[in-house]
A and B are shown apart, each in its own frame.
Chain A
Amino acid sequence: MNKPADLKGLVLDPVTNDQRYIGNREPRHGARRLLEGQGTYIDDIQLPRMGHVVFWRSPVAHMKINKIHTEQASKMPGVLAVVDGVQMAKICKPWVATLGHLAGMKSAPQHALAVDRACWQGEPVVAVVAETRAQAEDALQLVDVEWEELPAVISMESALDPETPLIHSELGDNLCFTRSLDVGNVDEVFASADVVAEATFGFGRHTGVTLEPRCQIADYNPGERRLTVYHSQQAPHMMQDLYCRQFGLSESDVHVICKDVGGSFGIKVHAYPDDFATVGLAMMLERPVKFVADRLESFTSDIHAREHRIKGRIAANKAGDILAFEIDDLTGIGPYSMFPRTSAIEGNQVVNLVGGPYKHQNYRAHLNVVFQNKAPTCQYRGVGHPIACAVTEGLVDLAAQKLQMDPLEFRKRNVIPDDAYPCSGISGIKLEVLSHEQCLRTIEKMMDYSALRKEQAELRKKGIYRGIGFATLIELTNPSPAFYGVGGARIASQDGASVRLDPSGVVSVLVGVGEQGQGTEGIYAQIAADAVGVSINQVRIVTGDTDVTPYGGGTWASRGAGVGGEAVLLACQALQENILKLAGAILNRPVSELSVHRSHVLDKATGEQLLPFSEIGRIGYFRTDTLPAGFSADLMVTRHYTQKDYPFIFTNGVQASYVEVDPDTGFVKLLKHWAVEDCGRVINPMLVDEQVRGAIVQGIGGALFEECLYDDSGLLRNGSMADYLVPMANEMPDIEVAHVETPTQSSKLGAKGAGEAGTAGAPGAVQNAINDALAPFNASVFEQPITSEKILRALKKI
């Protein structure tokens, strides 16, 4: 169980003058309505005259569109429009998703509805809008597309072969992006090392499976020439900008509203063809149009992620020092780089992160990102980290095994020491301050490592095969403009908060980062309550509305607490200063004699309550006539924050997995999982625990169950929740979480991100635990998901 007592009493210095909520397990009160069935997800919104869109999607991986017959469908009851790609292209420009700082990256123009060709099974080709969803689906049956199948590129392994057909002939080849890195003397080190270990790691494609599918309602008001989009999205301002640019509107013409979002995980941070098509239809029809993906559409058209094959090796000396890593990463991303974040980022992160926790000085990496006729891949929770971590940690275990060293001892010896920061990692990443040594010490104690090893040895004698696996990790969070801005993508790395003292003394906080269930609004309420100096139930948080909140980047790269939270802190502290200024003017006393405590202005010296906030509000708004001439009662302030000190602020942590493998069936039982995470200042340990646990289970999903399986012709074989396995409660272990708090110095708050490290570490930890259990058989598996079949194959039983 988690140990909240460890966190009591705030190890870190407070950041506010009366810190009551930051650091505590505060329930998020906004969640109550979700438990009462009163959330407002997109599908809960019904607008007058609203039409419903469904899409005729490509039934094959690659096809030429010859002719589209829509007459029959158009005549069906309730049908409002049947629109093809050529018609859509008249109002929505195509896009090309590349980033300037990924040198040489290329992709082809992509349309909201396919024009001439469709390049993956599931690409939208024809849109049918009707008064009800059922009517639209009835009419969809009568859309007749004349098409012919084109040769498809399915396997990433052969995508670059000369005889493989080109997906986009104008690009010259099927290569989206390539990158090479060579630091130190890799060849020399491998040639002379005492120990070299190597393996080929495979990662299956998987996807996010948000329980609420992707969905939106686009509403174009012809009178105002204004577009409102209700969207289940992570980055409302980014979508506002994209709708402006693709449809030739100005920012003030576009209003994006994100209410409750039913899971996102990166799936909902991208701009999909369906999104633009729905907006285009609303503009054509001048009425609201709702799109809600059904589950099959989600499986075939939500972004996939993580299809990689990596050859890796590690060099070490007899003393137990890691000397070098080398990797060759091949990844397939579908037919287009995804808009606007690009599909090259995942592989790029793998190159940045392999070997990242360790102090070796020699590293070579090669990356090829290739196109295929499968669903586009892009950033999903953890982005590259789970792959980099599983490869690194798999190699580390192999080296430890060859050296006959305990894997935990080997890690302790090789991690970058806690007193070495700031420093640069070998790939060039800048590391501000990490705590690997402390995390390793913590997990050893937490899991009672030596007792567990004894238990493992005892049980092994009885024919019970258990394994312990570790994964040390780093995760990039709090991104600076170096992430997208420098590459030309209009995705804000800054975020803003506006905070207002309402006349009654309630504090309203408007923030650019929204809520997808992580508890973002909950931690903002905690920060605001402490920083202004009010009770938490006197705080109201508003997010997810581009007309209302300050401009910001939204939710990605674990930036909600570290970037959004800092903006809230700065704005709220500024408001407290203004409250004191106003109190000074009302009381005709110097501000230096006043302080704030729990919704009151006090005499600093005596602690006497002088004015409640409600009185500050009353005079500040309604009796400004009583204030000195020229005094402005600024009871609303806005502050923005950008993290500019480092490209990213890295978090770190370590996970351990304890599993039992049945060598007769290949069945893996997860017995227990431990995680120690350092996300800097912990604003709410309960919410961080849940972020860590939820992320771990998504990582375990990729390690053991989840895979988007395609047949040889590029058809998805398991596009349903019955066929695509995600972890259920029964298969999951209890997960014990502990925190180490090393605050970042790049902000006042000191918070780093916490949302993805769990996903980053779990696959490596589980893979190593399984291989530890299989060690007596001299067998190992490095192909995720690690299924029973693969284990039995490794054991040569099938």
Chain B
Amino acid sequence: MSLKKKISMTVNGTLVNAEVEPRRHLVDFLREDLHLKGPHLGCEQGACGACTVKVDGQIIRGCLYLAVQADGCVVETVEGLTKSGVLADLQESFMRHNAMQCGFCSSGMLLAAAELVEKQPKASREEVREWISGNYCRCTGYHSIVDAIVDVLNARAKGQKIKPVTAHA
């Protein structure tokens, strides 16, 4: 099982060179070789969405995607997208609505939500529900997640920013 293949990719803005077994999926590579903690593994069969990451700008199921497939690609995880600020207003809105509990689904949910905000800026509440139906959340009942995303859509439509959550004095 030691037939390793050399790959290189840009992960969260940093060029990474590695040797991986062809069977290693992308999230195992990100988590175990690069020690990233953001993408999670809930089912490893593409059902739950906790492993969602971005490859060349598209969100994908990181557990159904082999690391060797990402050779030469740009890979982004919640860590990188947090640093670049891409997720900032969604993260604030999730905080404001408590749109997460255990947080295990959150990285995947945020990446899915970010793609919705980008591709369907006029989505209705029902369309938001439909869009995030590829991501399991076992804690929230989804209502608050939908509220949080709808708030971001509304704010963006008005050209506003979601105010950062701060403790009241």
| Interface-located stretch among B3-11, B32-40, B67-75, B154-162 | B32-40
- B134: chain A residues at CB < 8 Å are 728
Q: How far is the CA of A243 from the CA of B162 in the complex (A)?
A: 48
Most chain B beta-carbon contacts within 10 A, residue among A34, A261, A734? A34
Q: State the Cβ distance, A757 to closest chain B Cβ, in Å.
A: 13
- Looking at chain A's contact residues, the main secondary structure is loop
- A46: chain B residues at CB < 8 Å are 32, 35
Q: How far is the CA of A689 from the CA of B139 in the complex (A)?
A: 12
Interface residues of B in 118-145 (CB under 8 A from A): 125, 128-130, 132-145
Q: State the Cβ distance, A203 to closest chain B Cβ, in Å.
A: 20
Contact A697 B40 (CB under 8 A): no
Contact A39 B103 (CB under 8 A): yes
Most chain B beta-carbon contacts within 10 A, residue among A24, A35, A294, A726? A35
Q: From A32, A135, A262, A758, give the contact of B91 (CB < 8 A).
A: A32
- B32: chain A residues at CB < 8 Å are 46
Contact B142 A211 (CB under 8 A): no
Contact A34 B106 (CB under 8 A): yes
Contact B103 A732 (CB under 8 A): no
Q: Which residue of B lies closest to A730 (CB)?
A: B133
Interface residues of B in 23-46 (CB under 8 A from A): 23-24, 31-32, 35-46
- A537: chain B residues at CB < 8 Å are 167
Q: How many residues of B contact A (CB 8 A)?
A: 64
Tell me whether A41 and B169 are in contact in the complex, defined as CB-CB below 8 angstroms, given that A210-B138, A693-B143 are known contacts.
no
Q: Interface 1/0s, chain A 26-58, versus B by CB < 8 A?
A: 111101101111111101101000000000000
B105 at the interface (CB under 8 A from A): yes
A590 at the interface (CB under 8 A from B): no
Q: How far is the CA of A535 from the CA of B167 in the complex (A)?
A: 8
Q: State the Cβ distance, A526 to closest chain B Cβ, in Å.
A: 10
- B55: chain A residues at CB < 8 Å are none
Q: From A27, A264, A535, A731, give the contact of B95 (CB < 8 A).
A: A27
* Number of residue pairs A-B, CB distance < 8 angstroms: 190
Interface residues of A in 737-781 (CB under 8 A from B): 758
Contact B98 A31 (CB under 8 A): yes
Most chain B beta-carbon contacts within 10 A, residue among A43, A46, A730? A730
Q: How far is the CA of A722 from the CA of B40 in the complex (A)?
A: 18
Q: Which residue of B lies closest to A298 (CB)?
A: B43
| Interface-located stretch among A152-160, A186-194, A512-520, A561-569 | A512-520
Contact A690 B45 (CB under 8 A): no
Q: State the Cβ distance, B96 to closest chain A Cβ, in Å.
A: 6
A686 at the interface (CB under 8 A from B): yes
Q: From B43, B129, B167, B169, give the contact of A29 (CB < 8 A).
A: B167
- A698: chain B residues at CB < 8 Å are 138
Q: State the Cβ distance, B21 to closest chain A Cβ, in Å.
A: 7
Tell me whether A516 and B143 are in contact in the complex, defined as CB-CB below 8 angstroms, given that A37-B78, A134-B1 are known contacts.
no
Contact A211 B136 (CB under 8 A): yes
Contact B133 A728 (CB under 8 A): yes
- B102: chain A residues at CB < 8 Å are 34, 210-212, 260-264, 516-517
Q: Which residue of A lies closest to B93 (CB)?
A: A35
Tell me whether A517 and B103 are in contact in the complex, defined as CB-CB below 8 angstroms, given that A35-B94, A44-B37, A721-B136 are known contacts.
yes
Q: How far is the CA of A26 from the CA of B169 in the complex (A)?
A: 11
Contact B98 A28 (CB under 8 A): yes
Q: How far is the CA of A369 from the CA of B27 in the complex (A)?
A: 43
Q: How far is the CA of A46 from the CA of B138 in the complex (A)?
A: 26
- A697: chain B residues at CB < 8 Å are 140-142
Most chain A beta-carbon contacts within 10 A, residue among B41, B79, B129, B139? B139
A468 at the interface (CB under 8 A from B): no
Q: How far is the CA of A696 from the CA of B165 in the complex (A)?
A: 27
- B42: chain A residues at CB < 8 Å are 211-213, 295, 721
Q: How far is the CA of A77 from the CA of B138 in the complex (A)?
A: 38
Contact B98 A77 (CB under 8 A): no
Q: How far is the CA of A577 from the CA of B159 in the complex (A)?
A: 50
- B106: chain A residues at CB < 8 Å are 34-35, 37
- B21: chain A residues at CB < 8 Å are 134
Contact A721 B48 (CB under 8 A): yes
Tell me whether A295 and B98 are in contact in the complex, defined as CB-CB below 8 angstroms, given that A32-B91, A36-B78, A729-B142 are known contacts.
no
Q: State the Cβ distance, A692 to closest chain B Cβ, in Å.
A: 8
Q: Which residue of B lies closest to A29 (CB)?
A: B167
Tell me whether A728 and B136 are in contact in the complex, defined as CB-CB below 8 angstroms, given that A27-B165, A535-B169 are known contacts.
yes
Most chain A beta-carbon contacts within 10 A, residue among B37, B39, B134? B37
Contact B100 A696 (CB under 8 A): no
Residues on A close to B: CB < 8 A? Answer: 20, 24, 26-29, 31-32, 34-41, 43-44, 46, 77, 134-135, 138, 208-213, 260-265, 294-295, 516-519, 535-537, 686-687, 689-690, 693-698, 720-722, 726-732, 734-735, 758
**3 tightest CB-CB pairs across the interface, nearest first?**
A37-B38, A34-B103, A517-B102
Identify 13 residue pairs between A and B in the complex whose beta-carbon atoms are under 8 Å apart, listed by A's number. Answer: A29-B165, A32-B91, A37-B38, A37-B77, A41-B37, A43-B41, A211-B104, A518-B101, A693-B143, A695-B141, A720-B47, A729-B133, A731-B133
What would 7 more interface pairs be, CB under 8 Å, given A34-B100, A36-B91, A39-B37?
A35-B91, A211-B137, A517-B101, A696-B141, A728-B142, A729-B128, A732-B141
